[in-house]
């Protein structure tokens, strides 16, 4: 029992002393992976009106919990190549922070899980799950379990991410003329 306690203390110390990167750092790293290492990344804030939030919520079954959001713009050779949105959705207890990259055709470049804090359902970070979103657009309904396959034991997280990505695609559609 004593050796077990020592082992657990060692793990706690080792884990807590590891370098921590911020969500901002992870988002930028994720966007570089999606749009190329040489892409320049800037960000700006956009405000959503009450009617815009309502309209997105009605179509996506997921509501923005704030009225302004940060939009990352990725450029290469002075030309915009894509956009990034960071969002939190509720898992079973904890929030899941994820990044959605959208290319200039309005299609999902990729989805990246930036922070997963639950002890179950972490399969949503697997490549085999995330790749289902690639090339999806606001024209796709993204119905969990049909358009996006469920993973046994990760149903709540799968649904949270799927409705979240749909919300971001609809938000992009709304804002694209002004980005």
Partner 1 sequence: MFIALSFTLAASAQETTSIGGYGELHYNEPDGAARGTLDFHRFVLYLGHTFNEKISFKSEVEIEHTKIEATGSGGAEGGEVAIEQAYLDWHFSEHLGMKAGIILAPIGVINQIHEPPTFNGVERPSVDDVVIPTTWREAGAGIYGSFAENTSYQLYAMAGLRAEGLSGEEGLRGSRQEALESSPMNPSITGRIDVVPNTDLKLGASFFVGSTTEGDSALGSGTVGLVSANAQYSTNGFTFRAVGAFAAISDADKINAVYGNDVADQIYGYYIEGAYDVMPLLCAESEFSLSPFIRCEKFNTQAKVTGFAANPLYDRNVTTVGATFKPTFNTAFKIDYQFFNNAADVNTKQLNFGIGYSF
Binding positions for partner 1, 73-112, rule CB under 8 A: 86, 88, 90, 92-95, 97
Binding positions for partner 1, 32-51, rule CB under 8 A: 43, 45
Question: Given candidates 33, 55, 155, 173, which one binds partner 1 under the rule CB under 8 A?
Answer: 155
Q: d(Cα 176, Cα 143) in Å, to the nearest integer? A: 23
Q: In the complex with partner 1, which residue's Cβ is closer, 37 or 127? A: 127
Q: Which runs of consecutive H residues, i.e. helices, occur in 103-154?
A: 127-130
Q: d(Cα 123, Cα 90) in Å, to the nearest integer? A: 15
Q: d(Cα 42, Cα 82) in Å, to the nearest integer? A: 11
Q: d(Cα 14, Cα 36) in Å, to the nearest integer? A: 33
CA 112 to chain centre: 5
- Interface with partner 1 includes 6 (CB under 8 A)? no
Residue range at the interface with partner 1 (CB under 8 A); choices 30-38, 51-59, 73-81, 149-157: 149-157
Q: Are 163 and 89 in contact (CB under 8 A)?
A: yes
Q: How many residues bind partner 1 (CB under 8 A)?
A: 49
Interface residues with partner 1 (CB under 8 A)?
1, 4, 8, 11-12, 15-16, 18, 22-24, 43, 45, 65-66, 70, 86, 88, 90, 92-95, 97, 113, 115-120, 122-123, 125-129, 132, 143-145, 149-153, 155, 159
């Amino acid at each position: 029992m004593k050796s077990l306690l020592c082992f657990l203390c060692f793990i706690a110390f080792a884990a807590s002393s590891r370098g921590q990167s911020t969500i901002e750092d992870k988002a930028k790293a994720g966007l570089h992976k999606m749009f190329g290492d040489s892409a320049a990344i800037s960000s700006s804030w956009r405000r959503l009106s009450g009617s815009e939030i309502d309209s997105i919520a009605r179509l996506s079954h997921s509501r923005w919990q704030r009225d302004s959001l940060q939009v990352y713009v990725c450029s290469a050779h002075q030309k915009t190549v894509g956009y990034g949105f960071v969002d939190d959705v509720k898992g079973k207890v904890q929030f899941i922070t994820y990044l959605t990259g959208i290319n200039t055709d309005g299609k999902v470049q990729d989805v990246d899980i930036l922070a997963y804090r639950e002890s179950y359902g972490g399969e949503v970070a697997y490549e085999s799950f995330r790749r289902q979103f690639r090339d999806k657009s606001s024209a796709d309904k993204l119905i969990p379990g049909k358009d996006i396959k469920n993973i046994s034991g990760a149903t709540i997280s799968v649904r949270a991410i799927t409705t979240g990505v749909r919300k971001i695609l609809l938000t992009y559609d709304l804002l694209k003329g002004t980005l």
